[in-house]
Amino acid sequence: MQYTFSWVLLGGLIWATACTTDTQNVLTETEDQQQKPDIMLTEDNPFYAPSTLPFEAPDFDAISDDDFKPAMIAGMAHELEEIEAIATNPEPPTFENTLAALEKTGKLLTRTQLVFFNRTSAHTNETIQSVQSEMAPKFAEHSDNIRLNPELFERVRALFYNKQALNLDEASMKLLTDTYRSFVRAGALLNEGEQRRIREINSEISSLQTEFQESVLAMNRERALIIESEEELDGLSRDRIAAAREAAEERGYNGKYLLSITNTTRVPLLTSLKNREVRKKLWEASANRGIGENGGIDTRFIVLKLAELRAERSRLLGYPDYATFALEPQTAQNPDNALEMLTDLIPAVRANTAREAEMIRDRMRQDEIQDEVMPWDWEYYAERVRESEYDIDDEEIRPYFELNRVLEDGVFYAMKRLYGITFEERHDLPVYHPDVRVFNVYDEDGEQLGLFYGDYFARDSKRGGAWMSSFVIQSHLLEQKPVIVNVLNISKPAEGEPALISFDNVTTLFHEMGHGVHGLFSDVKWPSQAGTSVPRDFVEFPSTFEEDWAIHPEVLANYAIHHETGERIPDDLLDRIIAARDFNQGFETQEYLAATMIDMEWHTLTPNEVPDDVISFEQAALAKYGLDNKAVPPRYKSTYFSHIFSGGYAANYYAYIWSEVLAADAFAYMKERGGLTRENGNHYRSTILSRGGSREAMDLYLDFKGEEPEVEALLQRRGLDVRRAE
């Protein structure tokens, strides 16, 4: 079985005006390019001029919460002046005076936004949230002021229709094509009344997405479970109990214990808690977020309104629904192609899940529990089955996975073996939170590639999940090197205790470093094509690809060392960990597919089809695809599905498994050619990681492998036996 991956042109470029953390267009002045900022910004504002720290890293010691708003307001005013100068240039449009000029705009705004957006996600507070809420519609308006500027569009259109006579190199031709398409997709061809409505919709969507993000952060705190006694925590390790006690004390619950809610529906602690009633309370606290339970936060109105507004905007732009609009610039091209791959997986996934459920039921019977399998049972008893089938105990494994050793002797070690790069921690650069670490990153020849920041521990001021972002984006045009940050949500240990992490956390560290090297290895001219500026269903390919090095025997043996004894992980335990990898993949994949189908169903609606009830809509969506399994709920429910209602993955959550096809195929291809070697790493780096969005993404993959990817490697990676499918 083989899926054809066709590419279309990436649209939706937004220079320095986008208000999402994944914007990749970072522009900073060189000395001969500096322009005086708007008079509203005084020289004592740290964003007034580029940072003087290495690689223009943000000077967090100088930045206060009050600096962001004036810098962003001034930055927007300044950028509009630059845009006006380009749009009204009396000279005929050329690539240099229009496209290249656009790549140089918005420097003040961008350097401020990239720091601000990281703060809104990684370390927010009431001041930051207030600024975010106020500025969100202003950012949307500012973006529209650029993309709906008729004079500017005419210059871009003139170049686009004369592109063959321009003799551009491949990257420049792609920049021109993508830019033209981004204007069209923003509404540049609409009439005045339609553009006015587009502006209204964009402003409202921006505000609602910000409200959703803030609500999810608040509800995670609101829904944290308070436990009265240590006896109720039977099954948790000593360090986890101590961390729960400290977390409760920080909230003023002295003598009690606090269990935090994580990003997903399931909570990792469910694997260990023996008390079934406590597991049920913890799962329900997580799964019932955002429905206004007991007068709590309710995000259902936001979900319904966003679905309606996105559908209306898509209709105005000539698309039947938002999913069709959103997937046009992706590798999938349209919802039908994405759904074909997803639905083809469902039979094998359901069959695997059914076999896993039977094993879990049998294990529950051993504890004399005759009830049907509930979601708060699945994780706990899946772990018990794993223990019996593979002789693996999470508490036996965790002592071998100490965070710092995993990072330095695992992730960094693998990066050196593959790409020849080294990381050297430094302590002289300011950070936005004491837990953040900073590293110089050196290439094999000793040249410094850039800076890498690591922010690994969970806190109330940080949203859930894990991500990579940038403070500075690589660009030969502007002579910039990358400044990259990885953010995770690992539970912080009690004071003085080691940071022992789960194997899921280990995998996430490798995953996010995949995004990290995608940014660090960027080697392009145009900043809008740098690093992770690729389609959504390609961007997760490099990150997912790096995950499998976490279980490479050489890599795993190098970092899996007992934190107390210093002994390397025993070979038999290592073998058992690797063998157990396939177990529970039915559950893992089904909960993901369930969330993906909810996403697709919301975004294939017309404006008139948006329902008035979120819960019943979700249930109908799951039943439609045969994924309505009470014991396997979706990874995210709509009311806290940040990926699609605030995080930029609307109608694109499928991208993770679509990208995994590429990642699994690429890893299998590399394994056939020697695996963990510099030759393989250098080839992958030169054909994929360094090219950013300077070529069509499938062309990059063909450069790497020489042929299109096949889905078989994905099925093998996930342990899905299609021969035993329903």
pLDDT tens-digit series, residues 331-381:
999 999 999 999 999 999 999 999 999 999 999 999 999 999 999 999 999
Alpha helix positions (H), 560-654: 571-579, 585-603, 614-624, 642-645
DSSP element (H, E) containing 456: strand 448-457
Burial of 129 (0-12, 13-18, 19+ CB in 10 A): middle
Rounded distance, CA 407 to CA 425, Å?
A: 12
Distance CA 499, CA 718 (A): 28
Burial of 144 (0-12, 13-18, 19+ CB in 10 A): buried
DSSP result, 114-170 = HHHHHHHHHS--HHHHHHHHHHHHHHHHHHHHHHT-HHHHHHHHHHHHTGGGG---H
Sites in the chain below the pLDDT cut of 50: 1-39, 723-726
CA–CA distance from 242 to each of 49, 229, 246, 255, 644 (Å)? 45, 12, 6, 11, 35
Residues paired with residue 623 on neighbouring β-strands, in sequence order:
none
With b for 16 or more beta-carbon neighbours within 10 A and e for fewer, the 247-256 pattern comes to bbeeeebeeb
Tokens 């609500």 belong to 215
Of 529, 525, 474, 480, nearest to 30 by C-alpha is 480
Q: Cβ(289)–Cβ(215) under 8 Å?
A: no
Q: How many residues are present in the chain?
A: 726
Pick the CATH number of 398-514+548-582 from 1.10.3720.10, 1.20.1260.10, 1.10.1370.40, 3.10.50.40: 1.10.1370.40
Kind plus residue range of the DSSP H or E element containing 516: helix 503-520
The residues that bridge with 475 in the sheet, in sequence order, are: 480
Show the tokens assigned to 693: 């969005």
Four-point Cα dihedral 602, 604, 606, 611, nearest 10: -30
Q: Where are the beta strands (DSSP E) in 473-538?
A: 483-490
The DSSP 8-state label assigned to residue 687 in this structure reads I
**91 annotated active-site:** no
Contact 522, 690 (CB under 8 A): yes
Residue 519 CA to residue 98 CA, distance in Å, equals: 26
Spatial separation of the C-alpha atoms in residues 238 and 101, rounded to whole Å: 59
Residue 257 region by backbone torsions, left for phi larger than 0, else alpha for psi between -120 and 50, else beta: beta
The answer to whether 16 and 105 are in contact (CB under 8 A) is yes
Find the largest Cα–Cα distance for the chain: 83
CATH architecture of 31-214: Orthogonal Bundle (1.10)
Q: Would you give the DSSP letter of residue 447?
A: -
Tokens of 664: 């699994």
pLDDT score for 595: 98
Question: CA 621, 713, 644 angle in degrees (round to 5)?
Answer: 35
Model pLDDT, residue 387? 87
Contact status, residue 507 vs residue 397, Cβ threshold 8 Å: no
What is the domain partition of the chain in residue ranges? 31-214, 223-295, 335-390+584-724, 398-514+548-582
C-alpha triplet 343, 346, 352: angle, nearest 5°: 165
Chain centroid, CA 493 distance in Å: 25
The two three-digit tokens of residue 473, written as one number: 């984006």
Quote the CA–CA distance of 362 and 217 in Å, as a whole number.
38
pTM: 0.89
Architecture of domain 335-390+584-724: Orthogonal Bundle (1.10)
Centre a 10 Å sphere on the Cβ of residue 178 and count the other Cβ atoms it contains. 20
The per-residue pLDDT for range 522-579, each reduced to its tens digit, is 999 999 999 999 999 999 999 999 999 999 989 999 999 999 999 999 888 888 888 8
Nearest to 406 by CA among 462, 456, 440: 456
Nearest of 630, 640, 607 to residue 307 by alpha carbon? 607
Burial class (CB in 10 A: 0-12, 13-18, 19+), 672: exposed
CATH topology agreement for domains 335-390+584-724 and 398-514+548-582: yes
Q: Identity (one letter) of the amino acid at 645? A: F
Q: What is the pLDDT of residue 724?
A: 46
Given 56, 312, 356, 512, the catalytic residue: 512
Query: What is the C-alpha separation between 306 and 291, in angstroms, rounded?
Result: 16
Tokens, residue 130 = 């207030």
Instruction: Identify whether the C-beta of residue 46 lies closer than 8 Å to the C-beta of residue 70.
Output: no
Cβ(76)–Cβ(142) under 8 Å? yes
Dig out the tokens for 462 from the structure. 């940080």
Q: How far is CA 251 from CA 191, 295, 409, 469, 662, in A?
A: 54, 20, 35, 30, 44
CA distance 675 to 679: 9
